[in-house]
Structure 1
Amino acid sequence: MTLNVRVSGALGDFVADSVGESGTYENVSEYVRDLIRRDKARVEAERFTVLKAELAAAFAAPDTGYHALDAETVIARNARR
């Protein structure tokens, strides 16, 4: 995938300072790839936090909210749908 992005003003200056000999990254592409990786990791961490909260609530629920089922019952119920 190829992306073309125009960045100007203060953002452009910031990117220019972040790449090259004086910056952390060798080129703009490397900088953008790192930003995307970090954003992906942030989104995955947020989703994991939500999942953990949902699971914690499920495990904290009283056992009276659940009832035992055997495989045959589940298969029969799903076959009727």
Structure 2
Amino acid sequence: MSDSVNVRVTGELKNHLQQQVGESGLYENASEYIRSLIRADLMSSKESWQWLKGQLEPSLRLAEEDFVSVSADDVISRNKV
């Protein structure tokens, strides 16, 4: 089983890739650039999850009597601009 993945890019994506690699780019080759993009995507996903977790945790720690029952109509009315 191969540990590599082949990706075909054309047009605007290919042009952008070529600008990022070689003498004029920040990366030595396309593989290095793609690995960097994947790492950035993973980091972004982790940061998004941490943000969401931070938003939800305080509510999850509340006592049940602190929750307020609302209907879907209440939420829709509250969020109308």
How high is the TM-score relative to the length of structure 2? 0.71
1:13-55 CA-to-partner distances (Å, cap 9, x unmatched) read 0000110011010000000000000000000011111111111
Q: Distance in 1 between matches of 2:4 and 2:21?
A: 19
- State the superposition RMSD in angstroms: 1.6
Residue identity (%): 34
| Larger Rg computed on CA atoms | 1
Residues 1-81 of structure 1: pairs in structure 2 closer than 5 A:
1-59=3-61, 61-62=62-63
Q: 1:33 corresponds to which letter in structure 2?
A: R
Amino acid at match of 2:11: G
Alignment: residue pair count: 64
Cα distance in structure 2, aligned partners of 1:23 and 1:16: 8
TM-score normalised to structure 1 length: 0.71
**2-side partners of 1:27 and 1:56: how far apart?**
45
Amino acid at match of 1:39: D
Higher helix share: 1
Tell me the distance in 1 between the aligned counterparts of 2:36 and 2:48: 18
Quick one: which amino acid aligns to residue 53 of structure 2? L
